[in-house]
Amino acid sequence: MVMDEDVEKTNDVERTHRTEVVDPTKHLHLTWLSLLKFITRNIWSSHKGNCKLKLQSFSKYNAQAATPLREERKKPTNQDDEYADLDWDNLGFGLTPADYMYVMKCSKDGEFTKGELSPFGNIQLSPSAGVLNYGQGVYEGTKAYRKDNGKLLLFRPDQNAIRMQIGAERMLMPSPSVDQFVDAVKQIASANKRWVPPPGKGSLYIRPLLMGSGPVLGLAPAPEYTFIVYASPVGNYFKEGIAALNLFVEEEYVRAAPGGAGGVKSITNYAPVLKALSRAKSRGFSDILYLDAVKKKYLEEASSCNVFVVKGRTISTPATNGTILEGITRKSVMEIASDQGYKVVEKAVHVDEVIDADEVFCTGTAVGVAPVGTITYKDKRVEYETGDESVCQKLRSVLVGIKTGTIEDTKGWVSCIN
Ligand code: COI
């Protein structure tokens, strides 16, 4: 959020209106001098081209306080280039904003207005926006891949739309319809095509975000909602690249508790894990495995992904009981594994079972399907099988093949954009 000088001036003008125009008694007592000053200031403002003289009430001002600014980034000039100017061989998971974002708003009536693309840039929010003060927000993550023939592929964006609706309902927010959501994601992929990495080099990570953008003071749902979709080209999520991860079982902090919002993609699930995550990273671990909040004996998930445990031909994963995110990669991998004849079990996975496993791997949109090399629990470090012959690698290569179009999609998971 950047409030530049011109925006502050806009607010100044509006404040002037509130005191000098909206108050009729004061209006009557305007001297010629103050009237002249008032007119001069507003003529100057409209000359600046950034402020419109708006005769509006305070409540209207409030309702408009979260209007996004369409500014900062100028319309890209090299739109016709097939690729953006980027080092495609060294993509990590940092933000490299693609040209366009998509914005759609919804007021109290629950109806979203027609969304539109605009150059990626900062947005303006009231300091009292619901999302900033009370965390009323959910987000999604999905990826677009480039095929050899130049077409773009999206993986199950309808599932993200449905998950956003479920999350929004939990956080008492209206949400876009599945069609609105998928259409926005398609528009973002297509408008930002030059930011989609060459085949095999990564993907365009697309981040749909729904937030209470209207102002509140007391704890209440926001009076206005904003749905934004932006995108960034990405490579591997972890600095380990495709190497196996080293996980640490966290016994002090928990990620989610029964009855909370751990099962949905609420923004409030992420900042609370940062402390434990940064402590683990400073000790050389890639991520944390959380235990259940009640007994601290059963596996939940990692900070950024779901977890699977392999023993023989059985693959187990913690059952989604309200504290575990219903990952789209998670359920896709479960289906692929069943198709391949593995026994797939969703259940409460005891931490001792993990210690005894042949393999452990993680799944998530950002993470993909990532092998776990070691898990450290109570000062004991356990090693797992990894490598080309691992179950993880076999499932990963099928999923990646379907997503990138090198394996035929018999499940209707992939949508193609020209
Ligand atoms: C994703 O996998 O898309 C996520 O939202 C995880 C996030 C921590 C990057």
Q: Does residue 365 line the site of ligand 1, with CB under 6 A?
A: yes
Q: Does residue 203 line the site of ligand 1, with CB under 6 A?
A: no
pLDDT computed for residue 81 by the predictor: 80
pLDDT computed for residue 59 by the predictor: 27
pLDDT computed for residue 76 by the predictor: 65
Q: Does residue 364 line the site of ligand 1, with CB under 6 A?
A: yes
C-alpha of residue 264 to centroid of ligand 1, in Å: 12
Is the confidence at residue 43, as pLDDT, over 50? no
18 pLDDT band (50/70/90 cuts)?
A: very low
pLDDT computed for residue 240 by the predictor: 83
Question: Which residue would you say has higher pLDDT here, 74 or 412?
Answer: 412
Average pLDDT of the chain is 85
Burial class for 170, CB neighbours closer than 10 Å (0-12, 13-18, 19+): middle
C-alpha of residue 289 to centroid of ligand 1, in Å: 15
Q: Does residue 208 line the site of ligand 1, with CB under 6 A?
A: no
**Nearest-angstrom CA–CA distance, 107 and 112:** 7
pLDDT computed for residue 27 by the predictor: 34
Say if CB 173 and CB 210 are below 8 A apart. Answer: yes
pLDDT computed for residue 108 by the predictor: 73
Mutation choice for ligand 1 from 304, 307, 324, CB with most ligand atoms inside 8 A? 304
The DSSP secondary-structure symbol of 367 reads T
Q: Is the pTM of this model over 0.85?
A: no
37 pLDDT band (50/70/90 cuts)?
A: very low
Q: Does residue 304 line the site of ligand 1, with CB under 6 A?
A: yes
> Which tens digit of pLDDT belongs to each residue from 95-115?
999 999 999 999 877 899 999
pLDDT computed for residue 399 by the predictor: 98
Residue in 201, 216, 82, 204 with CA at minimum distance from that of residue 150? 82
Ligand 1 atom nearest the C-alpha of 141 is 3
> Which tens digit of pLDDT belongs to each residue from 277-313?
999 999 999 999 999 999 999 999 999 999 999 999 9
pLDDT computed for residue 80 by the predictor: 72
Ligand 1 atom nearest the C-alpha of 366 is 2
Mean pLDDT of the 43-57 span:
30
> Can you point out the beta strands (E) in 121-223?
137-139, 142-146, 152-155, 203-212
Of all protein residues, the one whose alpha carbon is nearest to atom 6 of ligand 1 is 304
Say how many CA atoms lie within 13 Å of 30 toward its Cβ. 18
Point out the least confidently predicted range of 26-40, 69-83, 278-292, 347-361.
26-40
> Which tens digit of pLDDT belongs to each residue from 378-402?
989 999 999 999 999 999 999 999 9
Q: Residues 186-199, buried b or exposed e (16+ Cβ, 10 A)?
A: bbbbebbbbbbbee
Residue positions annotated with a catalytic role = 265
